[in-house]
């Protein structure tokens, strides 16, 4: 996404940036829905290829049933972070990435593991990804609006 954004940002083709962002986000969300359904239906089958240990299969199945719910949002954060870098504004990307892990996920994983066991760790990951994706999209829209305003283009 970064080369596409950088090229169109440099050419001041904000219409193409807008349509590219919409396409990338829609593709990411549709693909994540596919992953959710696929892993829900096939998790146990594929896990059997990697291990026969019932406890490992049990935990991995929990992970494969919970974590995909956050994949689309993590994809949104990746799209936005790549765009921030292409805009020459790497700070939002760094803040989102570090905050997602250190400020949100790690503390929440500890708390939720205490409250809900291993499921809590996976729930924390999903919630951290959702929050990162939502913050990234909001931040992207603010920066895009600022960069595409007539005052910034002159």
Residue 154 has pLDDT above 80, yes or no: no
Residue 144 has pLDDT above 80, yes or no: yes
Number of domains in the chain: 1
Residue 153 has pLDDT above 80, yes or no: no
Q: Convert the pLDDT of each residue in 8-51 to its tens digit.
A: 888 998 999 999 999 999 999 999 999 999 999 998 888 989 98
Q: Convert the pLDDT of each residue in 49-87 to its tens digit.
A: 998 899 999 999 999 999 999 999 999 999 999 999 999
What's the domain range around 41? 2-153
SS3 readout for the chain: CHHHHHHHHHCCCHHHHHHHHHHHHHHHHHHHHHHHHHHHHHHHHHHCCCCCCHHHHHHHHHHHHHCHHHHHHHHHHHHHHHHHHHCCCHHHHHHHHHHHHHHHHHHHHHHHHHHHCHHHHHHHHHHHHHHHHHHHHHHHHHHHHHHHCHHHHC
Given this model, what pLDDT does residue 20 score? 94
């Amino acid at each position: 996404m970064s080369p596409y954004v950088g090229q169109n940002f440099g050419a001041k083709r904000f219409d193409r940036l807008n349509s590219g962002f919409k396409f990338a986000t829609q593709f990411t969300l549709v693909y994540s829905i596919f992953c959710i359904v696929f892993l829900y239906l096939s998790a146990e089958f594929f896990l059997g290829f990697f291990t026969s240990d019932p406890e490992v299969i049990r935990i991995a199945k929990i992970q494969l049933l919970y974590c995909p719910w956050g994949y689309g949002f993590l994809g949104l954060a990746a799209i936005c972070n790549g765009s921030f870098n292409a805009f020459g504004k790497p700070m939002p990307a760094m803040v989102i990435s570090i905050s997602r892990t250190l400020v949100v996920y790690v503390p929440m994983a500890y708390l939720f593991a205490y409250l809900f066991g291993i499921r809590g760790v996976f729930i924390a990951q999903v919630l951290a990804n959702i929050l990162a994706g939502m913050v990234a999209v909001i931040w992207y829209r603010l920066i895009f609006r600022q960069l595409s305003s007539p005052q910034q283009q002159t």
